[in-house]
Amino acid sequence: MTSLIKEAKEFTPHLVSVALHDNSAFSGSDPYAIFETFYLKESYGVLGFPTGVINRDEFWDRDNITPQVMEVAGKETSISLSINSQVENRKLTIDLSLISEENLQNKKITIFILENGLVYPQVNYLNEDPESEWYVLGPIIEDFVHNDVLRISLTDALGDSLPEINALSLFEKKYSVDIPTKITLENIVIVAIISDEDNKAMNAQEAHVGEFKQFE
């Protein structure tokens, strides 16, 4: 899955990825498997990993990933999101702002905390694929670097309900969470997703801690 995400990001900057970790019969207990992993697996009927979902409603076709992503990446939307954040004594405070050109009803918001740079053994599903960068590196890559790993969800993983928001009215909401010491603050990425009543993503935005991401 890492290779597919990397390939897709080479074609477009308009891609926000969230990596879920699960316990495996091959690698055993995964320290980055959290409740939201199992909740989302059940919600989407996922039987095993690696599996990808685009815009929270369409499963990835591993042989056709780039056209699939390009079809939706950067697509015009009436909703814009802005993210700002700060940390004090490991307490992360997030200021989220939203504005829409249209009235919003029955929409949801999801806020995820991701972490980059996590080194942990990874089952090498592409060990025998000569076209893969992981070819013949062994069945287990011991020092594999994991990015975009979901560590904390500040909302329901499928989103908390938003109130009705009038067109061109600014909606603001503050979130805060104490970050455990096992998470490296400098490696955190904040992700905000707006979705409809069917859980389809309408817009997503990401920002590093302390980074002000303007409306987009």
pLDDT, residue 11, reads 76
Q: 201 is written with which tokens?
A: 């993503």
pLDDT, residue 67, reads 72
CB 70 within 8 A of CB 11: yes
Burial 20-58 (b: 16+ CB within 10 A, else e): bbbeeeeeeebebebebbeebbeeeebeebbbbbbbbee
pLDDT, residue 26, reads 55
pLDDT, residue 69, reads 74
CB 82 within 8 A of CB 97: yes
pLDDT, residue 76, reads 82
Mean pLDDT of the chain: 90
pLDDT bracket for residue 1 (50, 70, 90): low
Identify the three-state secondary structure at position 16. coil
- Separation of alpha carbons 102 and 118, rounded Å: 40
- For residues 117-138, average pLDDT: 86
CB 197 within 8 A of CB 107: yes
Q: Which of 114, 106, 113, 115 is nearest to 200 (CA)?
A: 106
Of residues 48 and 40, the one with the higher pLDDT is: 40
pLDDT digits (tens, 9 = 90+) for 201-215: 999 999 999 999 999
- Separation of alpha carbons 121 and 24, rounded Å: 12
CB 185 within 8 A of CB 179: yes
- For residues 180-188, average pLDDT: 97
Domain architecture of the chain: domains with CATH: 2-208 (2.60.40.10)
Predicted confidence (pLDDT) at residue 55 exceeds the cutoff of 90: no
pLDDT, residue 146, reads 93
pLDDT digits (tens, 9 = 90+) for 63-122: 776 677 777 777 789 999 999 999 999 999 999 999 999 999 999 999 999 999 999 988
Q: Which of 27, 1, 34 is nearest to 142 (CA)?
A: 27
Of residues 51 and 169, the one with the higher pLDDT is: 169
- Separation of alpha carbons 50 and 155, rounded Å: 24
- For residues 20-35, average pLDDT: 78
pLDDT, residue 88, reads 96
pLDDT, residue 10, reads 76
pLDDT, residue 182, reads 96
pLDDT bracket for residue 27 (50, 70, 90): low
Of residues 139 and 90, the one with the higher pLDDT is: 90
- Whole-model pTM: value is 0.90
